[in-house]
Amino acid sequence: MSTMRAVQVVGYHQNLEMRDLPVPEATGPWDVVVRIGGAGVCRTDLHILEGQWAEKSQVQLPYTIGHENAGWVHSVGSAVTHVREGDKVIVHPLITCGLCRACRSGDDVHCESSQFPGIDTDGGYAEYLKTSARSVVRLDDSLEPADVAALADAGLTAYHAAAKAARRLTPRDRCVVIGAGGLGHIGIQVLKALSPAELIVVDRNPEALELALSIGADHGVVAEGKQVAEVLDLTGGFGAEVV
Ligand SMILES: [Zn+2]
Ligand SMILES: [Zn+2]
């Protein structure tokens, strides 16, 4: 059996530990083992270490943390046909069944028998990660796993909010985005792609606003006390339609 290095939660309020573990194998027909090319670090990882997820996830320690993963397909189960060894993939954070009522309604996130690698089962702070066929999405050749791994969660979270806002926005509307940080800078790009509205970004950090303007924001407002008046100014005194 070959081994790999993996970073594990060994106890709450304790440092993570690097350990040698067996490389996971594609034992089930829909299993996909991914050689990790990038694993994002999420604030949730800190919450896990503080024990905030212990009761909800019921995870048994030690286990491997990391839920924002991308890499190359290493091996696949007998039923997997849409990816093969060597394909670049990004990994949707949830493993879902595809057969329950929620999955069949397109509401996979409420799957009755889901697993969440990095949260309730072994995740991607490791050389290899076991996931399932439904969870791997092929990447365009121009993308590298390490560059996009964080989109697997930070990207999904920002997309969820931005797509919801975009459904209400028309070309005459103004949308205020508060914060152009880790999630916000992704949300701005999603809004720009999905919505014709004018984007006003508010942040305390002028450098974050510069980035925002370079990736699609129409206006940047530094939040240093007069931001409400500035947004009113930019919207003819009416305020934004969506915040
Ligand atoms: Zn996360
Ligand atoms: Zn399901």
Q: What is the pLDDT of residues 37-56, one digit of tens each?
A: 999 999 999 999 999 999 99
Query: Same domain for 32 and 66?
Result: yes
Whole-number Å distance, alpha carbon 153 to ligand 1 midpoint, is 5
206: its two tokens:
């002028």
Has residue 1 got a pLDDT over 90?
Answer: no
Same domain, 221 and 130: no
Q: Are residues 195 and 217 in the same domain?
A: yes
The interface predicted TM-score (ipTM) is 0.95
Which ligand sits nearest to residue 106's alpha carbon?
2
64 and 31 belong to one structural domain: yes
**Given pLDDT bands bounded at 50, 70 and 90, which one contains residue 170?**
very high
Domain of 57: which CATH number? 3.90.180.10
State whether 10 and 36 are in the same domain: yes
Domain boundary among 152, 183, 207: 152
Among residues of the chain, what percentage have pLDDT more than 70? 100
The verdict on 163 and 142 lying in the same domain is no
Residues bordering ligand 2, an ion, CB closer than 5 Å: 96-97, 100, 103, 111
Instruction: Indicate if the pLDDT at residue 129 is higher than 90.
Output: yes
User: Over the stretch 12-34, which tens digit does the pLDDT of each residue have?
Assistant: 999 999 999 999 999 999 999 99
CA–centroid distance, 39 to ligand 1, in Å, is: 10
Residue 114 located in a structural domain: yes
Residue 241 inside a domain? The answer is no
The tens digit of pLDDT for each residue in 73-123 reads 999 999 999 999 999 999 999 999 999 999 999 999 999 999 999 999 999
> pLDDT category, 216, cuts 50, 70, 90?
very high
* Residue-level pLDDT at 61: 96
Rounded to an integer, the average pLDDT of 211-222 is 98
147 and 86 share a domain?
Answer: yes
SS3 for the chain is CCEEEEEEECCCCCCCEEEEEECCCCCCCCEEEEEEEEECCCHHHHHHHCCCCHHHHCCCCCEECCCCEEEEEEEECCCCCCCCCCCEEEECCCECCCCCHHHHCCCHHHCCCCECECCCECCCCECEEEEEHHHEEECCCCCCHHHHHHHHCHHHHHHHHHHHHHCCCCCCCEEEEECCCCCHHHHHHHHHHHCCCEEEEEECCHHHHHHHHHCCCCEEEECCCCHHHHHHHHCCCCCCCEC
Residue 150 Cα to ligand 1 middle (Å): 8
Domain that holds residue 221: 159-234
Assess whether 77 and 164 both reside in one domain: no
- At CA 37, angle to CA 135 and CA 77, rounded to 5? 40
Q: How far is the CA of 155 from the centre of ligand 2 (A)?
A: 22
Last residue of a domain, one of 113, 135, 152: 152
Claim to verify: residue 213 and residue 126 sit in the same structural domain: no
- pLDDT, residue 66, reads 97
Same domain (yes/no): 167, 216: yes
C-alpha distances out from residue 84 to 12, 74, 77, 179, Å: 37, 8, 10, 39
**How far does residue 101's CA lie from ligand 2's centre (Å)?**
7
How confident is the model at residue 31, as a pLDDT? 98
Q: Are residues 172 and 119 in the same domain?
A: no
Residue 206: pLDDT band with limits 50, 70, 90: very high
- Average model confidence (pLDDT) for the chain? 96
Query: Would residue 239 count as lying in a domain?
Result: no
Mean pLDDT of 142-146: 96
Domain match, 145 and 168 both: no
Q: How far is the CA of 110 from the centre of ligand 2 (A)?
A: 7
The CATH number given to whatever domain includes residue 171 is: 3.40.50.720
**105 Cα–ligand 1 center, Å:** 24
